[in-house]
Structure 1
């Protein structure tokens, strides 16, 4: 099993850009096109607007990481590069991963300042005993 859940507030720059909303609208259109063209067999990526803010959400649970995992990370890295003011979190659980924490916990992708970096999850990991009985 491979699960992912994430949210990302979309913003053009960490600072107030001097050129206004026009550039953001252009970049958002590019990102929206890329998101719409994404194909996640057991999941989805979508952009919604809440109170004037654009939010990208990604959710899925394929049986195996397959190509969906790398495609997801490629999409999020593209978003981070294109809209470097964007920020948010991605939780991934991959029971087939040889990298720590492996099947016993989540890895957290942190999008901030144009980068997607990974950290260990301090809240739900290790799954046993935090979430499940041993």
Structure 2
């Protein structure tokens, strides 16, 4: 299984005040639309600010994993003041099968970090399967 959950607060620049300079909304909406149909993908304004929310749980990583991370990278390029977190768990990844990974978007840059809150999945979240 490939599980992902994330959010991004959209800001055109780190200094932006009241969307000055303007946010590249249509290009970001296109990125969100490209990911739609395979879980939760949402771009909406809340209290005058725009946010992206996404989550999913497909059977296999397939291309979905790189597309989700690419969304964070591309938003960072289009709106370098944006920030957010993406949690990923891929039980078919031999290096990370028991751990979540956290991708952090800050000032246009996406970095990967180990998770210490939900990992290791066994025994933190689930009991070991004995079958």
Mind listing any 5+ residue stretches in structure 1 that lack a counterpart? none
Partner of 1:48: 44
CA–CA distance in structure 1, aligned partners of residues 73 and 108 of structure 2? 8
Runs of 4+ in 1 over 4 A off after TM superposition: none
Cα distance in 2, alignment partners of residues 129 and 83 from structure 1? 38
Which structure 2 residues correspond to residues 21-60 of structure 1 after superposition, within 5 A?
Answer: 21=19, 23-25=21-23, 27-36=24-33, 38-60=34-56
User: Aligned residue for 1:4?
Assistant: 4
Task: Tell me, yes or no, if the aligned pair for 2:101 and 2:115 is still in contact at 8 Å.
Answer: yes
Instruction: Indicate the residue corresponding to 1:109 in structure 2.
Output: 103
Correspondence for 1:133: 127
C-alpha separation in 2, matches of 1:128 and 1:58: 24
RMSD over aligned Cα atoms: 1.8
**Shift of residue 29, structure 1, vs aligned partner:** 2.0
Question: Secondary structure of 2:22's partner?
Answer: helix
TM-score, length-scaled by structure 2: 0.87
Deviation track 1:11-33 (CA, whole Å, cap 9, x = no partner) reads 0111237xx636424x1222112
The 5-angstrom pairing of residues 34-113 of structure 1 reads 34-36=31-33, 38-99=34-95, 102-113=96-107
Bigger helix share: 1
Deviation at 1:55, TM superposition (A): 0.6
Per-residue CA distance 1:60-117 (angstroms, 9 max, x = gap): 1110000111112222210011111111110000001123xx2211000101010111
Q: How many residues align?
A: 128
